[in-house]
Amino acid sequence: MNIAIIDDTALDRRLLTKTLRDYLSSNGLEADITEFSSGEDFIKSYRPLMFTIVFMDIFMHGINGIEAAAKMRESDSDTLLVFLTSSSEHRPEAFSTHAYDYLQKPVNKSRLYSLMDDIMRLTPETDKELTFICEKTERRIPFSELVAVCSSGHYLEITDCAGFSYRTRLNFSAAEKQLSGDSRFLLVLRGVMVNMDHILSFTDDGCELAGGLKVPINVRNSRGLEQIWKNYIFAKVRRETMMRSGRK
């Protein structure tokens, strides 16, 4: 994660950087934080999506924060933008640049922590991998590429989005332990877990997945499973829309 702080007051930059580093440290996160002393310096070196979050002071010498943000938005409509200011006077103008939020200076620690918590919920995590042994070779498949994990006798059948299927002695409970903490994966039947990003539809007796794969489901709870999937897709679309617009 890369963070930019644009503020022409050195003390304010240092204080915000320190508070952000404290937040990152307490949450086991890492980020590169780059400070800019003017809007001109920021725009001069800016490239679309260079930063995950941009903290922009509104009142600066030279071009102000709103002007710098508008310039950034000419080529980048997605980066999260947070304005910093000692006055709420320019709030309507600030949000015309699709600001994600607005912080009063001096920045309150608890307010900043709450904002960062919200942003972290929007920011995708680095993709994890499912690790297993297949044909005496260690395999690692990113979670995003997994379609389904199904228990089959003494084996586990693992299918990826390219249509490849792997048989492994890894037991289902061990695989479930790796996957259960990720919101993408849904247990549709005992011994059957699917990636909701790859679900196409539910039928009365199964779940249809990308690549022509169909797995059995808990028939008595088919409507409940389908609703969980729909809720997941709704939440995902909402997050992506928020990221694109830069709005809460």
The confidence score (pLDDT) of residue 248 equals 45
Tell me the pLDDT band of 97, cut-offs 50, 70 and 90.
confident
In this model, does residue 63 exceed pLDDT 90?
Answer: yes
Q: pLDDT tens across 32-60, in order?
A: 999 999 999 999 999 887 888 999 999 99
Q: How far apart are CA 29 and CA 7, in angstroms?
A: 24
Q: What is the pTM of this model?
A: 0.57
Residues in the chain, how many? 248
Other Cβ atoms less than 10 A from the Cβ of 164: the count is 13
The confidence score (pLDDT) of residue 143 equals 92
Q: How far is C-alpha 188 from the geometric centre of its chain's CA atoms? A: 25
Q: pLDDT tens across 72-90, in order?
A: 999 887 788 999 987 666 5
Q: pLDDT tens across 151-192, in order?
A: 998 899 999 998 899 999 999 999 998 898 788 899 999 999
Q: Give the burial string for 1-15 (b: 16+ CB within 10 Å, else e).
A: eebbbbbbeeebbeb
Place of tokens 């503020």: 7
In this model, does residue 243 exceed pLDDT 60?
Answer: no
Going along the chain from its start, the domains and CATH numbers come out as 2-122 (3.40.50.2300), 129-243 (2.40.50.1020)
The confidence score (pLDDT) of residue 234 equals 81
User: Which one is predicted more confidently, 132 or 183?
Assistant: 132
Place of tokens 């299918």: 159
What lies within 8 Å, CB to CB, of 147 at 6+ separation is: 159, 160, 161, 194, 195, 198, 209, 210, 211, 213
Tell me the pLDDT band of 247, cut-offs 50, 70 and 90.
very low
Tell me the pLDDT band of 236, cut-offs 50, 70 and 90.
confident
Tell me the pLDDT band of 217, cut-offs 50, 70 and 90.
very high
